[in-house]
Structure 1
Amino acid sequence: MPKIDARLPKGMRDFLPEEVLKRQYVFGVITDVFKTFGFEPIETPVLEMEDTLLGKYGDEAEKLIFHAQHPGGKEELALRYDLTVPLSRYVSMHENDLSFPFRRYHIAPVWRAERPQKGRYREFYQCDADIVGIEDPSADAEIVSLVTTALRRLGFADFKVNVNHRQILTGIGIYAGVPDAQLGDLYRSVDKLDKIGIDGVAAELRESGIAEDAIARMFTLLERREGGAESLGWLRELLAGIEPAQKGIADLEQMVEYLNVMGVPQENVQIDYAMVRGLSYYTGPIFETVITKPDNLGSVTGGGRYDELVGLFRKQSLATTGTSLGVERIIDLMDKLDLYPPALTGTVVEALVTVFEPGLQGETLKLANELRAGGVRTEAFMQPKKSIGKQVQYADRKGVRVVAFLGSEEIKNGVVNFKRLSDGTEISAPRAEAVQAVRSLLSE
């Protein structure tokens, strides 16, 4: 057969073992937080019916959906774009088996046909948590509390959860005098404020045909876009008489009260009237988290309330709110900020049992199995012709912390010698106490 070039599709990645271990550490911390808040795990297929996904995200997002078809197949399929729409389909299909309110978490890959670039991939993992069946802003506050808890447990200290409300955005459009038909253009442009600046947003709005006086009124408001809970009082007066805005302000005021009760640090939450969240299915509070130091390192979580999405799959909708943690960016930032624990090495192996000569390979395997039975993750070296020095070098390069030596003399005397590679500490222990010896070296 002809040789095949080893290559990957654009935007897809392989991961080395040390990279996978870091990813598993992050997934593990986030999973533990999800469980701490009482969320249950679910799984859904990577493929959904095409009509399940289409019409839910907005035109720009749906250009990124991967469509799939198997030869001769009659079903029109697509790779899932996120974990939110599949949740809505899942709830409608399994509602008789679920207890409401339903708290779910889901950690799985999704696919988007984006232009690959640093930090943006075509296949990536999402970590989602959602509460289905609660209309009260307490559910939205719980999601924000979950986000701050997860980021702090991962080691992040300097971040902001920016909070807004879709009905406040509607009210801002009404205040500015933007016709309903142009509100979509308004939101799409304002959503780019951090990327293209106020002049760029103004230029886009003019191209969309939005009047100059409406643009001016918009920017009078957006110049005061960020603030704490106290800014809601100013906004309430400014948008007096605009019913959607008043509803949104009341929701956020209630959210802030709940966040204070739950002890969420005020420095980690702020109101931002220019934060839009691009997906069209949001209906209420929306959230987006940005790492603020050492620099503004971009968004790491996003989410919000989408009370009408489940209703597309059943007779009556169910109030739903949730978040997605951008785990790929979180992993990259943890590398950049050196947030991984020192004990996290590039291998799962805790101990390596060396082999002195071919005739002792069986004893090497036997000791390795004894250590494994005691809960020590152990590799048995299987190339007896390699020198002991080469075997130790292999262990060190791989990141193994403890090496076991079992030569003829040790076997005769019923002992095992161990060495911790990080500082050269050596101990000898009776064969029956080998597990305890390794544990003592690993614990220091």
Structure 2
Amino acid sequence: MGPITVALFILTALIGLIYIFLIWNFNHWNKRGIKKQTMANNPFLLMGDIWKERRAEITPGLSTNRVQAVYSVTQNICKQFVDYIKKQQRMAPSGGLNAKTLSLCYSTEVVADCVLGISSGSFSDNPTPLVGMIKRVFEHSFGFIFFNTLASLFPLIRKFYCVPFFTKDVENFFFDIMQKAINLRRENNEHRNRADFLNYMLQLQEKKGLDTMMLTSHTMTFLTDGFETTALVLSHTLLQLARNPEAQRLLREEVATGELSFDQLSELPYLDACISETLRIFPPGLAARRLVTEPFKFVNKNGVSVEVVPGEVVIVPNYAFHHDPNYYEHPEKFQPERFLEHNGGVRKYRDQGVFFGWGDGPRVCPGMRFALTQLKAALVEIVRHFNIKPNPQTRTDNALDETYFMATLKGGIWLDFEARD
């Protein structure tokens, strides 16, 4: 039985099967089905026991305490971000500002500083090459997208040919950046005691004898989970707030008073609901794919069964679940209220197995805490300082860009920012 049949079976069977798939029987399909590439130690790409080991290495570096330790850095960058938006809006053409570009500048600056302790110059007139390189990483060609679509249906293709996620020049660039960041950190006593990801990795390097390539591989996890994903979620949340003035008003009321501490930032239910609803409508991961490693039989409530064997690929259509009216009333509408606690919150939909904003099971996004903090901090500052409106250039539906490998609004997100002060 091929992966398309399995995907359709899962879509029509009990949602509880998703928990069986992603959590309860994880060992049957703990591999993503992605062939290892040059960045062979990036936990996003690894499989089996090696994946467990590498993930266990980086997880302590993403703890709540470490995210909190760099929160003041994030707050400072958010203030710079507001000034940057004001400057860009003054020079903006009639077509508005590109929210994705703005968000990518922000996420690049945050990750560069909080993770590596360096500035990317994202808000300056002369940004470092890091900004341009980040854009290059995710502007995949049609050939890359076509190959991976084909390989999802016929996984044996990967045994004979593989298109790398990161090109060699991109890997070399980040290897060089990592080496320079390490050297600067060792020479700069000011940051030697900062509880950030790089210092954690340097401690891990000493403990386990990791080389620079290994450190770079770990850090590249933030390229996928930090730069691009955070920028996508931020830009789409701004889009939804611009389209829904009442939601924007309610959020502004929630975040109106004073500078928020790290703990206070974690206690904003409507902000959490807005982010969750955005992740539902535009989930960065359109689908989850796993390579079967042990035989398994799915059985639905009607007794219909399907058996999968090692070597097959099982696909969970995240986007389809998120837009299924059987689970989400009016699925195309932005309704953050559905994720508020009195309506069951996120837990309600996770327990049903129909929400995959950050993935699920043991392979849930390791950088979730870090990404959420950056998202919330930026949204608080933007909503406080601007009235956000959709530019007429932005489409009014939620059609996806079919040339991009993550959920992205077709035609781009063009917004107008009206300063409130």
- Higher-Rg structure is 1
Q: Same fold (TM over 0.5)?
A: no
Greater percentage in strand: 1
Higher helix share: 2
After TM superposition, the score normalised by the length of structure 2 is 0.28
Question: Whose relative contact order is higher, 1 or 2, with alpha carbons under 8 Å and at least 6 apart?
Answer: 2
